Amino acid sequence: MALSRSEMLKRLRAQVATGHPIVGCGAGTGISAKFAEAGGADLIIIYNSGRYRMA
């Protein structure tokens, strides 16, 4: 489900306002990103170096 930038910011600000932390996670491969999403990460930062390590 794609969200607009404004909707994403609105959700993150609401989360901060209620005292809940924003959890960010770094992923270099697709499987890491899938598990980060399944684990409830709020932000997933993608690194392009993962494809070089997997080669």
Under the banding of pLDDT at 50, 70 and 90, the label for residue 1 is low
- Alpha-carbon torsion angle 6, 9, 14, 18, nearest 10: 180
53: left (phi over 0), alpha (psi -120 to 50) or beta: alpha
Whether the full predicted model's pTM is greater than 0.75, yes or no, is: no
pLDDT in tens, 18-54: 999 999 999 887 898 999 999 999 999 988 876 666 6
Tokens 């930062």 belong to 45
pLDDT given at position 51: 65
Show me where the domains of the chain are located: 21-55
pLDDT given at position 55: 61
SS (H, E, C) 10-40: HHHHHHHHCCCCCCEEEECCHHHHHHHHHCC
30, 8 Cβ separation under 8 angstroms: no
pLDDT given at position 8: 93
